[in-house]
Amino acid sequence: MREGSNGTRWSRRMAAVGGGALSALVLGQVALTGPVAAVPGLSIKTTTGPSNSAAKSQNATCPAGTKVIGGGGAITGSGLGQVGMDIMVPLVGGDAYSVTGREDENGVAGNWAVTANAVCATPPPGLVTVSGSSAPSFGTSNWFEKSCPAGKHAIGVGGAVVGASNSEVVLEDLRINQSSVVVAGAEDGTGFAGTWWLDATAICADPLPGEQRVIDDSTYSSADTQSVTADCPPGTRVHGVGGEILGGDGQVRLTEMRATSSTTVTVRAMEDEDGFSSNWKVRAYAVCAN
Ligand SMILES: [Ca+2]
Ligand SMILES: [Ca+2]
Ligand SMILES: [Ca+2]
């Protein structure tokens, strides 16, 4: 079990090691013998809530008989980069994926909406959801890894920043490794005086038919916005969704991390209200299967 957290500047360190072009890496391809059946009942449900200036949650609910195997969300409207998706989680019971949007500490002029996105399927063999929490953070950033039970693969991820009442601690990373998920957060550019921690949820299952992971990075620069897609190979579809900001140092917020089609995961992020002078990028994870 690799599980734990620390107070290092994880995002920045990862940015340093991942600064080169990482294009269309296909990782963790599972060799399967014999006939493989597709995961049945696969669908992607997307809902968008009201446009206003209040903190709010939006749930995307799976059809009867199916469960959430992955999910994501997006913010649209005014204040992009100032509204954090700081809580992105499958709901208990696995019937919906929930995304909460909250404004930064000095608010946003204008209205915005939350979109939630659920990847749903007839429960694949071995489906189980496990969660854990980091220790309270004493640094400006933190991360937490939650492993799947032995032999299972991580196909979906949820994460939450706990302890801040607005988006003063930014949920930066919802990363899917082969057998674990990693959730990371960072205090905003002016810091946060309170205590906070991270919750991480891994949606795990037996290896999926034809499972492969596609990871793609945006360019690495100090542009105000960055976006990238991870596209599933021909014959496979998106089953799991992940994304992360590398090098954002709490001054970049995810504005989109979701399946934008049955074969594509899109991740976008934008710098905060007064910008960010360093280079950063976003990374998209697609767990693809037949
Ligand atoms: Ca603001
Ligand atoms: Ca602050
Ligand atoms: Ca800033």
- Specify the CATH number for the domain of residue 83: 2.60.120.690
pLDDT above 70 coverage of the chain, percent: 87
pLDDT exceeds 80 at position 19: no
- Over residues 218-277, the pLDDT tens digits come to 999 999 999 999 999 999 999 999 999 999 999 999 999 999 999 999 999 999 999 999
Distance in Å, CA 104 to ligand 3 centroid: 11
CB contact at 8 A, 168 and 104: yes
For residue 81, the ligand closest to its alpha carbon is: 1
Is 278 within the bounds of a domain?
A: yes
Is 225 within the bounds of a domain?
A: yes
Distance in Å, CA 104 to ligand 2 centroid: 8
Is 2 within the bounds of a domain?
A: no
- Over residues 186-231, the pLDDT tens digits come to 999 999 999 999 999 999 999 999 999 999 999 999 999 999 999 9
Tell me, what's the pLDDT at 172? 98
Distance in Å, CA 108 to ligand 1 centroid: 5
Distance in Å, CA 105 to ligand 2 centroid: 6
Is 1 within the bounds of a domain?
A: no
Is 5 within the bounds of a domain?
A: no
Give 10's pLDDT tier (boundaries 50, 70, 90): very low
Q: Which helix (H) or strand (E) holds 13?
A: helix 10-17
Range of the domain at 62: 10-289
Distance in Å, CA 48 to ligand 1 centroid: 22
What does the alpha-carbon distance between residue 166 and residue 121 come to, in Å, rounded to a whole number? 33
Average pLDDT over residues 97-110: 97
Alpha carbon dihedral 201, 8, 141, 137, in 10-degree steps, equals 80
CB contact at 8 A, 242 and 228: no
Is 260 within the bounds of a domain?
A: yes
What does the alpha-carbon distance between residue 110 and residue 52 come to, in Å, rounded to a whole number? 7
Average pLDDT over residues 79-97: 97
Give 137's pLDDT tier (boundaries 50, 70, 90): confident
What does the alpha-carbon distance between residue 262 and residue 133 come to, in Å, rounded to a whole number? 31
Is 3 within the bounds of a domain?
A: no
Distance in Å, CA 269 to ligand 2 centroid: 19
Q: In sequence order, which residues have a C-beta less than 8 Å from that of residue 65 and are 6 or more positions away?
A: 41, 122
Per the model's pLDDT, the better-predicted residue between 137 and 147 turns out to be: 147
Average pLDDT over residues 163-180: 97
Is 63 within the bounds of a domain?
A: yes
User: pTM for this one?
Assistant: 0.88
Q: How many domains does the chain divide into?
A: 1
What does the alpha-carbon distance between residue 283 and residue 290 come to, in Å, rounded to a whole number? 23
- Over residues 56-81, the pLDDT tens digits come to 999 999 999 999 999 999 999 999 99
Q: What is the mean pLDDT of the chain?
A: 90
Distance in Å, CA 159 to ligand 2 centroid: 20
Instruction: Report CA 78 to chain centroid distance, whole Å.
Output: 22
Tell me, what's the pLDDT at 4? 52
Distance in Å, CA 165 to ligand 2 centroid: 11
For residue 186, the ligand closest to its alpha carbon is: 2
For residue 80, the ligand closest to its alpha carbon is: 1
Length of the chain: 290
